[in-house]
């Protein structure tokens, strides 16, 4: 399924799609930032999952928590916070735990992880 904005991404995940192709530049930037956290390892992912409720409820405090996890650039932290706000905390957590993020020349592809992995 192809998606062009955060609303369509949220709907595709809720509809239990197995593969989603994102072509929207803003979403691509946000998902690349999220993919960076995934590459940092399980402690970074756990830290981000812990910070997601702060983003949803406090905003600035949540941004500070995400910035501590993704200290490379403010752009990465703000992209992650924007994604969490746009699609919601529960779906953002599912992106970290249930999906593989594959960077492609024409966008980003999300592939649902199989239950066996």
Domain ranges of the chain: 2-109
Q: Lowest mean pLDDT: which of 11-25, 30-44, 91-105?
A: 30-44
Instruction: Write down the pLDDT at residue 75.
Output: 58
**Do the Cβ atoms of 2 and 21 come closer than 8 Å?**
yes
> Global pTM?
0.82
Three-class SS of residue 20?
strand
Mean pLDDT of the chain: 84
Query: Look-up: residue for tokens 């953002």?
Result: 92
Please state the rounded mean pLDDT for residues 39-64. Answer: 80
Q: Which helix (H) or strand (E) holds 90?
A: helix 89-97
CA–CA separation, 115 and 87 (whole Å): 23
| Longest Cα–Cα distance in the chain | 38
Helix (H) or strand (E) holding 1: none
- Find the angle CA(95)-CA(33)-CA(105) to the nearest 5 degrees: 90
């Amino acid at each position: 399924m192809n998606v062009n904005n955060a609303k369509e991404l949220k709907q595709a995940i809720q509809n239990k799609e197995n593969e989603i192709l994102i072509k929207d530049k803003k979403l691509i930037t946000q998902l690349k930032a999220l993919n960076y956290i995934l590459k940092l390892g399980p402690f970074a992912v756990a830290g981000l999952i812990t910070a997601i409720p702060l983003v949803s409820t406090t905003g600035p405090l949540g941004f500070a928590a995400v910035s501590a996890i993704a200290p490379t650039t403010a752009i990465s932290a703000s992209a992650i916070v924007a994604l969490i706000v746009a699609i919601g905390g529960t779906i953002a957590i599912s992106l970290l735990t249930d999906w593989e993020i594959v960077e492609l020349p024409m966008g980003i592809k999300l592939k649902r992880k199989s239950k066996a992995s």
